[in-house]
Amino acid sequence: MQGSRRLRASDEERDYVLHLLQLAHAAGRLDVVELNDRQDRALTAKFSDEFIELLEDLPEGREVVAVLRPTVAPAPSRPGPSSVLRAIASPGTANQSIAILSGKDMMVPPGVTRYHLMSFMGGDNVDLSEALQPGVVLIIESQSVLGGSTIKVPPGVNVVDESQSVMGGNTVKRSARGDGSRGTLVLRGISIMGGNTVKLA
């Protein structure tokens, strides 16, 4: 923050705030309803200072709030906002799969918080039953061209579709739209004449 200028939030910053909220939930500071509400607000935040309200009552967010709050000057030895919010650039493990004119069955293990899918005239069957747990946010970055993957989720998963599409798009089956009690799946990326299908495992 410089003066009264507001800085736009990045995906990396949103991911870090989601991670801090997960830590607060694991410590028993937030129940599932509060966690889901704050996660939704973090995912739709346009400016970095919107994270203050989500974190200011949580010890896990104390350092980030001190950096973002314009009235609180960080200590000289403290890193700037971008460094603090990048402290955990990609919590968990990242994995990827590429399907070209083919596909395979994939079971994503627990602990994975990012998964990259590339589908060209094909697609995988991706099962997230083990990876999605209460409080977990799993982000799938997907590029689909003339194809797409089938993504299987357990009951209770909140699905947030932030992807872009050209003559295509993702399909989220009604039965796969949960209340967030089993975590949150965020879909990002682009679909061109194709897209992924999210359904119950």
pLDDT tens, position by position, 141-158: 999 999 999 999 999 999
Q: What is the pLDDT of residue 93?
A: 42
Quick one: pLDDT band at residue 96, thresholds 50, 70, 90? confident
Model confidence at 63: pLDDT above 60: yes
Percentage of the chain modeled with pLDDT above 90 = 41
For the segment 1-35, what is each residue's pLDDT rounded down to a tens digit? 344 578 898 888 888 888 888 888 888 899 989 98
| Dihedral sign computed on CA atoms, order 72, 66, 79, 94 | negative
Q: Which pLDDT belongs to residue 79? A: 43
In single-letter form, the type of residue at position 144 comes to S
Six-digit token string for 196: 């992924």
Q: What region does 41 belong to: left with phi over 0, alpha with psi -120 to 50, or beta?
A: alpha
When pLDDT is cut at 50, 70 and 90, the band that residue 127 belongs to is very high
Residue type for position 5: R
- pTM (2 decimals)? 0.59
Q: With 90 as the cut, is the pLDDT of residue 74 above it? A: no
Tell me what the pLDDT averaged over the chain comes to. Answer: 83
Pairing type for strands 164-166 and 184-192 reads parallel
User: What's the pLDDT at 66?
Assistant: 80
Residue 190 parent element (H or E): strand 184-192
Query: How much is the pLDDT for 85?
Result: 47
The CA distance from 163 to 17, in Å, is 20
- pLDDT-derived band at 56, boundaries 50, 70, 90: very high
Q: What number of other Cβ atoms are within 10 A of residue 139's Cβ? A: 25
Question: pLDDT tens digits, residue range 162-193?
Answer: 999 888 899 999 999 999 999 999 999 999 99
Angstrom distances, CA of residue 113 to CA of 15, 68, 80, 133: 10, 25, 25, 11
